[in-house]
Structure 1
Amino acid sequence: MILVVMIPNLLLVVIGEDSVVASLLKKIVFGILCFAIVITPLIFLKPKYYSWFSIILLPLILFETSIINHFKAPSSEETVATIFLTNYYEIVELVRGNIISSIWAFVLFILLVFISFKTNKNFKLSLKTKKIIFTFIFSFFSVLYIRNYMAAKKLNNNRKETFSAANYSLKVQLNKVFPLDILFKLNEAYKGIQEKKNYKKSIEKFRFNTTKKDTLNDQEIYVLVIGETARKHNFSLYNYSRKTSPNLDTLSNVFAFKNANTTANLTSLSIPFIFTRATPQKPQLKFTEPAIINGYKEAGFKTYWISNQSTGVGSVFGFYSSLADVYKNTSVSLDAANYDETLFPVLQDILDDTTTKKKFIVIHTLGSHFRYNYRYPDSYQKFKPTLNRSLSIENTNDISKKKELINSYDNSILYTDYVISNFINQIKKQNAVSFLYYISDHGENLYDDENKKLLHGYINPTKYEIEVPLIIWTSKKYKKEYTNKISNLNKNIHSRISSTNTFHTLLDLSNIQYPTEKLRKSFVSNQFDSLQIRYFYSTNKEILKLDK
């Protein structure tokens, strides 16, 4: 029975590409962790009852095993959420399409029932055995937590942050162990679905009252690409010494804004400042007003959201993406090797959609999310040496790994350049009035100075976390149709720009107006405040002034 419950965990150890099993030592530790969790119920349950528990878990065992077998990583919250949305007909179709697997599942079910039937109800483990199990579990978790604490101590300056990081590490580890991972994610997915319903209910009467200022006969395709952990300093487009953006460097009609800042250095905090009219001074607007998706829908556009990130059903991504007419997620796990090119065919299907001539498309990329070396295929391993696949956050906190970190990060930027340019080429072939607007959620530290900071999310952010790439491409037809807007893009190439300008600029770029618009916040408008004072929303919710 223990072995049956362990099947998903054992499969992850054998074939997984997740960071929890990225080296032999990690495989061993993770295997012991899984075993400790799986045998814990035996302290309280008789083996007979444990067998019933195994039978009840069987559908989830099969579900998780299939996910790991396919993706080489545990299920995500979004994947688990499909359990709530699956109907009888989809289950029948799944069984018919996987006859051999279904037969094995049935055989396993019969075996479990047989073992359960043969297990004596009066049989129970001795008190001595239970004490041994408890001692083993307690000792293992103590050692594991001490290890997490010591690793966190190297990355954090004070005790509170260290304990917080150690607790987070343990939570991540437990969220990979079956059956805990499924139970946690089922709970989060259920809460997320309810929160999403509440969000949509709270904004259902809100209207921007947007209208298109013209009636173009041409097809219109406007695309917002959200980058991940990309800092401008490592793009050759921004004068980086390495040739990391060869495609964008040479593409025509590309505007790279030199002085763009993010408004927060954590994804969950920064995204609302891009998609809504929320500001550091008015952060509550992220939940009381709809995202920009609704502004386009009101103006007659069909809206699409495609993502290659697993972000959580109850996250702001879950809220905002639910507003789109079409939603598609190609993500696996943030800890698995996954590439943004999986979005190419999805985008092509959208571009081929003939049901409308007006499209607004959001593309959420995986970009340069840590682990950098998992974000690009081998063909983009230009800068060497790079991080190896056994490395994770805990063992890259040594500055001796700086060269490998930067090389891996630069390779991810090189691949991002390929991804963005491919999006542009796909759109260009449509011969439409179109633009692509790319902005990263935040930047990243790479041991850049004497402070030796790595990653992002610090209370006192560095310029490497704040300064992000903001790139706009426009089609020839767009350039011909909106010459004044093109002129203003050129005019503001060095102006102060904040991620909070995105909402206002996108609608203005699309020639969409609304009664409460603030054109001083749109950098394609003649009214743009090019000397605006920009603010930053810190991780401790303090508002920092970035400009004097």
Structure 2
Amino acid sequence: MENSLATNIKSLFRLALVVSIPFFILVILGLFKIPNTLNYFKEVIGFGFLTLLFFSVTVLFSKTKNRQFLCLISVIVLSVLLFIKLSFYHNYNVKLSASALFVIFETDTTESADFLANYFDSFVTISGILIVIIIPLLVIYILKHIKISGQFKLLKLIALVFFIVSSFLIYKRFNSENLIITSYQSYSEYSSLIKDLKTDLAKPLSSFVTVEKSDDTPETHIVIIGESTSNWHMQLYGYDRPTNPKLTEIKDQLIIFDSVISPHVHTIISLDKILTLSDFNSPNKKNNTSIVQLANAAGYDTYWISNQRPVGLHERISSIIANAAKEKYFVATENSDEVIYDESLLPVLDTVLKKAPKKKIIFMHLIGTHGRFVKRYPEKFNYFKTDKPNAKFKHEKALQLINEYDNAVRYNDSVVREVIDRVKSQQTNSFVLYFSDHGDELYDTMDLVGHNEYWATRPMYEIPFIAWFSGAYKQSNTYFKTFSSYKNRAYNLEDFIYSFSDLANIRFKELDSTKSIFSNTFIRKQRLIKEGEDYDKRVKLLDK
């Protein structure tokens, strides 16, 4: 009896040690990769309870073969979760969050490849091999050479209690540290959001907002939505390279707002706020309305011309909003790793402009300066070649990517100018607005290329916001004279729908002119980002 009990305890102890191998690795590597002591202890405790949960399940099975199989599966699952957790901390210094998962759900295979190419550095690759491959192989070897054949009959009740307690604590206290729960909840929320958007925002008219019908005066307005373009690399904003030669030529005809930020640094959640009534206080807003629906209700003919593929894992949020337009043109059919030039949108724009001179609002969604910069401009725009930019980081990769990005910005400049020239030739009551959904970090403040809210650098948030107005618009809207005095206003583009409505004279009950950058009743508000951080206070801290 005593020998049998001793054997069972030894087997139980061995089983616990084997299942806990990923936990011990987290305890050690987490000291170096999890930046905050509180976060470290929360991650260790949360992962400890998850390990206890898997261990309890394994103990509940009496048959040796089942127990060995469950032990191996437990280690594999825990190892994969550990690798994701540590690699994300390594790259971003924070835990994997719901907002990051939203981006993953909306990403196509090409963008995933771009992401993984930057994500897997030497540490991630080596730790992946160690944690995801070598550890399971080690466990297989261990299970073949040790005995875990105890019956554990008296301990099953205790194991059941451990299972219940662990499950409760993980769900109630450590759910944000648990990747399984975070992923499930995020995907459920994302699926619900997409369903609501398809139900509400894809319709030509919103049932939640009543819009006053405007007169039939012919008008042609254009909203150009850029991609990944930071004003840090724009000549118009003081950049020391000639990236905006075409727009600089007509600089005196433009109003260049110099203190505008995007609400997020990822396209989907940024455009969800920019193009609808959603904002920081009402994200993924129910009973929502888009600028396309407002324009439809006001009597405009609406057109959506896009150089981005309309589908990812699901329909993209911007594509769902685009479905409300009277006519849709999705020009690009290639993945974003292919050569895509925004000039391909211009013939479509010409066709739309030639339509009967009714009230038109045209939305143009550019590929802009999206990743794989070298594929965003033709060879004749390969202007910055061997030049060495005045960059903070001067290694070979940084210099190459900065040159490619600046070439893409220079090409983007020519496309925006072409749009303005075409609208100008119409000689109608018109405006052209250009902004980017977010920016990119190009080794400006740190040794990094790309965008993510975990680093949240200034170039990722600070975007161009430029307005051009025709002579007819200026004559019929006398308050235009005050616009140039507003160009220094600190503004979060999550309120763009109010600025857009102001310019297009679209009136509806929910219109709040204090949120319009063009209004004389504008009230500056806190520009909140991430989890409620004040952007302007963050900038002051970063600049110290």
| TM-score computed with the length of structure 1 as normaliser | 0.61
Aligned partners of 2:513 and 2:519 also within 8 Å: yes
| Contact 1:209–1:515 (Cα < 8 Å) also in 2 | yes
1:288 deviates by: 2.8
Q: 2:354 is matched with which residue: 341, 346, 352?
A: 352
Q: Give 1:314 deviation, angstroms.
A: 2.1
Instruction: Map Cα deviations across residues 488-509 of structure 1 (whole Å, 9 max, x no partner).
Output: 3211100111112310011110
1:370-519 to 2 correspondence within 5 Å? 370-385=371-386, 399-449=395-445, 451-484=446-479, 486-519=480-513
| Identity across matched positions, percent | 28
CA contact (8 A) 1:203 1:289 kept: no
Amino acid aligned to 1:403: L
Partner of 1:97: none
Name the residue aligned to 2:170. none
Aligned to 1:294: 293
Give distance in 1, aligned partners of 2:111 and 2:464: 35
Q: Determine the C-alpha separation between the residues in 1 that align with 2:200 and 2:428.
A: 34
Does the aligned pair in 2 maintain the 1:229–1:444 contact within 8 Å? yes
Structure 2 gap ranges (5+): 1-79, 114-190, 538-544
**Equivalence map 1:218-237=2 (5 Å):** 219-237=218-236
Structure 2 match to 1:267: 267
Task: Tell me the equivalent position of 2:23.
Answer: none
Check 1:273–1:201 CA distance in 2 against 1; reply closer, same or farther (3 A cut). closer
Distance (Å, rounded) in 1 between the aligned partners of 2:94 and 2:470: 53
Cα deviation, residue 250, structure 1? 1.7
Secondary structure in 1 aligned to 2:536? Answer: coil
Whether contact under 8 Å (1:264, 1:270) holds in the other structure is yes
Structure 1 distance, partners of 2:108, 2:278, is 31
Structure 1 residues 191-270: aligned runs within 5 Å: 197-199=198-200, 206-211=207-212, 215=215, 217=217, 219-251=218-250, 252-270=252-270
SS in 2 for 1:211: coil
**How far is the alpha carbon of 1:379 from its aligned partner?**
0.4
TM-aligned CA deviation for residue 327 of structure 1: 0.3
Task: Answer yes or no: is the 8 Å Cα contact 2:197–2:320 preserved in 1.
Answer: yes
Q: CA deviation at 1:370?
A: 0.4
CA contact (8 A) 1:290 1:320 kept: no
Q: 1:330 and 1:249 mapped to 2: Cα distance? A: 28
For 1:534, which of 520, 527, 531 is the aligned residue? 527
Task: Answer whether contact 1:399 1:452 (CA < 8 A) is retained.
Answer: no
Is 1:343 the counterpart of 2:332? The answer is no
Amino acid at match of 1:352: K
Asked if the contact 1:258/1:493 (under 8 Å) is kept, the reply is yes
Distance 1:517 1:246 in 2: 37
Please give the per-residue CA displacement for 1:498-542, whole angstroms capped at 9, x wherever unaligned.
11231001111012211221010112211011x322112x3xxx2
Partner in structure 2 of residue 276 of structure 1: 276
Q: Is the 8 A contact 1:203 1:290 kept in 2?
A: no
Q: Which has the larger radius of gyration?
A: 2
Measured at CA, do residues 370 and 201 of structure 1 come closer, stay the same or move farther in structure 2, by a change above 3 Å? closer
Query: Does the aligned pair in 1 maintain the 2:304–2:325 contact within 8 Å?
Result: yes
- Paired with 2:428 and 2:358, the residues of 1 have a C-alpha distance of 9
2:517 to 510, 517, 523: 523
Alignment RMSD (CA, Å):
3.5
Question: How many Å separate the matches in 1 of 2:194 and 2:261?
Answer: 32
1:411–1:174 CA distance, 2 compared to 1 (3 A)? closer
Where 1:512 maps in the other structure, the secondary structure is: coil
Report 1:169-188 matches (<5 A). Answer: 172=109
- CA offset at residue 204 of structure 1? 6.3
Do the aligned partners of 1:227 and 1:441 also contact (CA within 8 Å) in 2? yes
Instruction: Please say if residues 427 and 472 of structure 2, whose CA atoms lie closer than 8 Å, have aligned partners that are also in contact.
Output: yes
Superimposed CA distance per residue, residues 168-227 of structure 1 (whole angstroms, 9 cap, x where no aligned partner)? 799937999xxxxxxxxxxxxx999977643458996624222256x464x201111110
Give the CA deviation at 1:446.
1.1
CA distance 1:458–1:380, shift in 2 (3 Å): same
SS at match of 2:255: strand
How far has the Cα of 1:425 moved from its partner? 0.8
Aligned length: 366
8 Å CA contact 2:429, 2:471 repeated in 1: yes
**Equivalent residue number for residue 547 of structure 1:** 536
Q: Deviations over 1:3-62 (max 9, x none)?
A: xxxxxxxxxxxxxxxxxxxxxxxxxxxxxxxxxxxxxxxxxxxxxxxxxxxxxxxxxxxx
Shift of 1:414: 0.3
Aligned to 2:131: none
Corresponding residue of 1:181 = none
CA contact 1:192–1:314 (8 Å) conserved in 2: no
Question: What is the identity, as a one-letter code, of the residue corresponding to 1:480?
Answer: Q
How far apart in 2 are the matches of 1:171 and 1:479?
Answer: 43
**1:304 and 2:239 aligned:** no
Per the alignment, do residues 269 and 227 of structure 1 end up closer, same or farther by CA in structure 2, a change over 3 Å counting?
Answer: same
Matched position secondary structure for 1:359: strand
Distance 1:346 1:159, change over 3 A: same
Counterpart CA distance in 2 for 1:155 and 1:408 is 27
Relative to structure 1, the CA distance from residue 158 to residue 544 in structure 2 (aligned partners, 3 Å threshold; closer, same or farther) is: closer
Shift in Å, 1:289 = 1.1
Q: Tell me, yes or no, if the aligned pair for 2:226 and 2:367 is still in contact at 8 Å.
A: yes
Distance 1:490 1:175, change over 3 A: closer
Aligned counterparts of 1:339 and 1:347: Cα–Cα separation in 2: 15
> Counterpart in 2 of 1:364?
365
Q: Secondary structure at the match of 1:506?
A: helix
- Contact 1:373-1:386 at 8 Å conserved across structures: no
Report the counterpart of residue 66 of structure 2 in structure 1. Answer: none
Q: Does structure 1 retain, via aligned residues, the 8 Å contact 2:212–2:297?
A: yes
Bigger Cα displacement from structure 2, 421-430 vs 307-316: 307-316
Classify 1:204/1:483 alpha carbon distance in 2 versus 1 (closer, same or farther; 3 Å).
Answer: closer
For residues 175 and 463 of structure 1, do their structure 2 counterparts lie closer, same or farther at Cα, with a shift above 3 Å needed? closer
SS in structure 2 at match of 1:458: coil
Write the distance in 2 (CA, Å) between the matches of 1:470 and 1:297. 24
- Quote the offset at 1:437 in angstroms: 0.6
Partners of 1:413 and 1:334 in 2: CA distance: 17
Q: Call closer, same or farther: CA 1:311–1:456 in 2, change over 3 Å.
A: farther
The equivalent of 2:41 in structure 1 is none
Stretches of structure 1 that go unaligned for 5 or more consecutive residues are 1-144, 177-189, 388-396
Contact 2:225 2:436 in 1 (8 A): yes
Q: Is this contact kept in 2: 1:195–1:314, CA < 8 A?
A: no
Query: Residue deviations 1:260-304, cap 9 Å, x none?
Result: 01110100110011101111111132x531211111111110111
The alignment status of 1:321 with 2:330, answered yes or no, reads no
* TM superposition score normalised by structure 2: 0.61
Question: Within 2, Cα distance between the matches of 1:472 and 1:275?
Answer: 17
Give the letter aligned to residue 462 of structure 1: T
